[in-house]
Protein backbone atom coordinates (compact mmCIF):
# COMPACT_ATOMS: atom_id res chain seq x y z
CA UNK A 1 0.00 0.00 0.00
CA UNK A 2 2.86 2.36 0.82
CA UNK A 3 4.38 1.85 -2.67
CA UNK A 4 1.07 2.66 -4.36
CA UNK A 5 0.74 5.88 -2.34
CA UNK A 6 4.32 6.91 -3.23
CA UNK A 7 3.68 6.19 -6.92
CA UNK A 8 0.51 8.30 -6.82
CA UNK A 9 2.46 11.18 -5.26
CA UNK A 10 5.16 11.00 -7.91
CA UNK A 11 2.66 10.86 -10.78
CA UNK A 12 0.65 13.69 -9.28
CA UNK A 13 3.69 15.93 -8.91
CA UNK A 14 4.76 15.18 -12.49
CA UNK A 15 1.38 16.36 -13.77
CA UNK A 16 1.66 19.58 -11.77
CA UNK A 17 4.83 20.55 -13.64
CA UNK A 18 3.61 19.62 -17.14
CA UNK A 19 3.27 22.55 -19.52
CA UNK A 20 0.00 23.01 -21.31
CA UNK A 21 0.36 23.72 -25.02
CA UNK A 22 -1.56 26.82 -26.00
CA UNK A 23 -2.19 28.74 -29.19
CA UNK A 24 -0.30 32.02 -29.42
CA UNK A 25 -3.62 33.81 -30.01
CA UNK A 26 -4.68 32.80 -26.47
CA UNK A 27 -1.51 34.01 -24.76
CA UNK A 28 -3.20 36.78 -22.76
CA UNK A 29 -5.46 34.22 -21.05
CA UNK A 30 -2.45 32.34 -19.65
CA UNK A 31 -0.26 34.99 -18.04
CA UNK A 32 1.53 33.49 -15.04
CA UNK A 33 1.03 29.94 -16.33
CA UNK A 34 3.73 27.51 -17.44
CA UNK A 35 2.96 26.82 -21.08
CA UNK A 36 4.27 25.47 -24.35
CA UNK A 37 3.87 27.69 -27.40
CA UNK A 38 4.76 26.63 -30.93
CA UNK A 39 4.75 29.45 -33.48
CA UNK A 40 6.70 31.14 -36.24
CA UNK A 41 9.79 33.15 -35.34
CA UNK A 42 9.96 36.51 -37.10
CA UNK A 43 13.52 37.38 -36.12
CA UNK A 44 14.98 39.03 -33.08
CA UNK A 45 17.80 41.11 -31.73
CA UNK A 46 21.09 40.36 -30.01
CA UNK A 47 22.05 42.93 -27.38
CA UNK A 48 25.81 42.55 -27.71
CA UNK A 49 26.63 45.69 -25.71
CA UNK A 50 24.34 44.85 -22.77
CA UNK A 51 25.66 43.42 -19.52
CA UNK A 52 23.88 40.06 -19.97
CA UNK A 53 24.21 39.90 -23.77
CA UNK A 54 20.69 38.53 -24.14
CA UNK A 55 18.93 37.75 -27.37
CA UNK A 56 15.27 38.62 -27.79
CA UNK A 57 13.28 36.44 -30.18
CA UNK A 58 10.06 37.79 -31.75
CA UNK A 59 7.43 35.06 -31.93
CA UNK A 60 4.12 35.28 -33.79
CA UNK A 61 4.82 38.57 -35.62
CA UNK A 62 7.63 41.02 -36.27
CA UNK A 63 8.69 43.57 -33.65
CA UNK A 64 6.98 45.67 -32.31
CA UNK A 65 3.79 43.66 -32.95
CA UNK A 66 5.02 40.27 -31.74
CA UNK A 67 2.59 38.72 -29.26
CA UNK A 68 5.47 36.94 -27.50
CA UNK A 69 9.09 37.75 -26.80
CA UNK A 70 11.43 34.92 -25.83
CA UNK A 71 14.57 35.88 -23.91
CA UNK A 72 17.67 33.75 -24.43
CA UNK A 73 20.76 34.10 -22.22
CA UNK A 74 24.21 34.41 -23.78
CA UNK A 75 25.06 30.71 -23.23
CA UNK A 76 22.05 29.51 -25.24
CA UNK A 77 22.68 32.05 -27.99
CA UNK A 78 26.18 30.61 -28.36
CA UNK A 79 24.82 27.06 -28.44
CA UNK A 80 22.27 27.87 -31.15
CA UNK A 81 24.50 30.22 -33.21
CA UNK A 82 22.58 33.38 -34.07
CA UNK A 83 19.02 32.19 -33.36
CA UNK A 84 17.57 35.60 -34.28
CA UNK A 85 18.50 34.91 -37.91
CA UNK A 86 18.75 31.10 -38.06
CA UNK A 87 15.27 30.55 -36.61
CA UNK A 88 13.60 33.24 -38.73
CA UNK A 89 10.53 31.91 -40.60
CA UNK A 90 10.66 28.59 -38.71
CA UNK A 91 8.13 27.23 -36.24
CA UNK A 92 9.84 26.79 -32.91
CA UNK A 93 8.34 25.56 -29.62
CA UNK A 94 9.16 27.29 -26.35
CA UNK A 95 8.14 26.20 -22.86
CA UNK A 96 8.21 28.29 -19.73
CA UNK A 97 6.30 30.61 -17.49
CA UNK A 98 4.52 33.48 -19.21
CA UNK A 99 5.44 36.72 -17.52
CA UNK A 100 4.73 40.34 -18.36
CA UNK A 101 7.54 42.74 -19.22
CA UNK A 102 6.65 46.32 -20.08
CA UNK A 103 3.07 45.27 -20.80
CA UNK A 104 3.95 42.40 -23.18
CA UNK A 105 4.08 38.60 -22.71
CA UNK A 106 7.52 37.07 -22.37
CA UNK A 107 9.14 33.71 -21.67
CA UNK A 108 12.66 33.59 -20.27
CA UNK A 109 14.52 30.48 -21.40
CA UNK A 110 16.95 29.12 -18.84
CA UNK A 111 17.68 25.71 -20.35
CA UNK A 112 17.89 24.18 -23.81
CA UNK A 113 15.11 21.74 -22.83
CA UNK A 114 12.73 24.69 -23.10
CA UNK A 115 13.34 24.89 -26.87
CA UNK A 116 12.16 22.46 -29.54
CA UNK A 117 13.37 23.12 -33.07
CA UNK A 118 11.76 21.66 -36.20
Residue 67 belongs to a domain: yes
The count of domains in the chain is: 1
CB atoms within 10 A of CB 76: 18
Domain that holds residue 111: 19-116
Tell me what the mean pLDDT of segment 104-118 comes to. 95
Residue 68 belongs to a domain: yes
Angstrom distance (rounded) from CA 94 to CA 57: 11
In tens, the pLDDT along 41-52 reads: 999 999 999 899
What CATH number is associated with residue 102? Answer: 2.40.50.140
Residue 38 belongs to a domain: yes
SS (H, E, C) 68-115: EEEEECHHHHHHHCCHHHHCCCCEEEEEEECEEECCEEEEECCCHHHE
In tens, the pLDDT along 84-108 reads: 999 999 999 999 999 999 999 999 9
Residue 25 belongs to a domain: yes
* pLDDT tier, 18 (very low <50, low <70, confident <90, very high otherwise): low
Residue 99 belongs to a domain: yes
Does residue 13 carry a pLDDT above 80? no
Residue 86 belongs to a domain: yes
The residues with which 56 forms a beta bridge, in sequence order, are 45, 71
Residue 12 belongs to a domain: no
Residue 101 belongs to a domain: yes
Amino acid sequence: MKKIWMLACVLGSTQAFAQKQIDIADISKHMGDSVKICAQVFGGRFFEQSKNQQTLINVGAAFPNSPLTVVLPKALREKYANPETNWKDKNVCFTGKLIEFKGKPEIIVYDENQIALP
